[in-house]
Structure formats: structure tokens, C-alpha cells
Structure 1
């Protein structure tokens, strides 16, 4: 868990830097994919899934 959490933090910081500098290419896509896979293995995954489901339900009711 500690290794995956530190990996998520490092990849998140790297992705934020790439987004800020607008230097997203193939490397940025790889970092984003790795960030997503690592984030999915942390304890934050259920909360993120619940938030996204709630957002999707809200948008479905609007449209």
C-alpha cells in the first residue's frame, strides 16, 4: 500500500507538471495511464467511483 501510494503521488505530480507545461504527448499518455492504474489500486478508488457515479446520475437527470 505504501509503495502504491508513493507511486500515485509521484505520477500525479509528474502528470500535473506535464499538464501545466502543455507537454503531453505519448509520454504524457503513458504517465496518465500508469497514474490511473496505480490510483485504482489505492483505497481512494471506491470514493472516486462513487463520486463519478453520482456525477453521471446528476448529469443524466439534467439532460
Structure 2
């Protein structure tokens, strides 16, 4: 759950930044949002969540 919230926050900040620099228009923002909600209700959601948790676990084990 924490990983999902972090990913959602980071993606939200990225979308805000893209809107701010006018690289992403409101139409694309709405399409991305609708697509995200539709994907969240499909059978692909657990696979995407598992992949995000795997990536975050990998990044958590990296030491610089």
C-alpha cells in the first residue's frame, strides 16, 4: 500500500510538472487519468502492482 501511494504521488507530481511546463495539455491529462482508472479495475492491476513492488524492492536494496 505504501508503495502504491508513493508511486501515485510521484506520478501525480510528474503530471503536475508536465502540465506546468505546458508539455502535457489538459486533454492528455484527462485521457491518462481515465486510462489509469480503467486499468485499475482490470485483471492487469495486480500484475502492475506486483511489478511496482518488485521495482521498489530492487531500488530499496541499492546502496550508493
Once superposed, which parts of structure 1, at least 4 consecutive aligned residues long, lie more than 3 Å away? none
Q: What does 1:1-63 align with in structure 2 at a 5 Å threshold?
A: 24-63=24-63
SS in 1 for 2:24: coil
TM-score (norm 1): 0.61
Structure 1: gaps of 5 or more residues: 1-22
Q: Within 2, Cα distance between the matches of 1:47 and 1:26?
A: 28
Structure 2: gaps of 5 or more residues: 1-22
What is the root-mean-square deviation in Å for CA atoms of aligned residues? 1.3
TM-score (norm 2): 0.60
Q: How many residues align?
A: 41
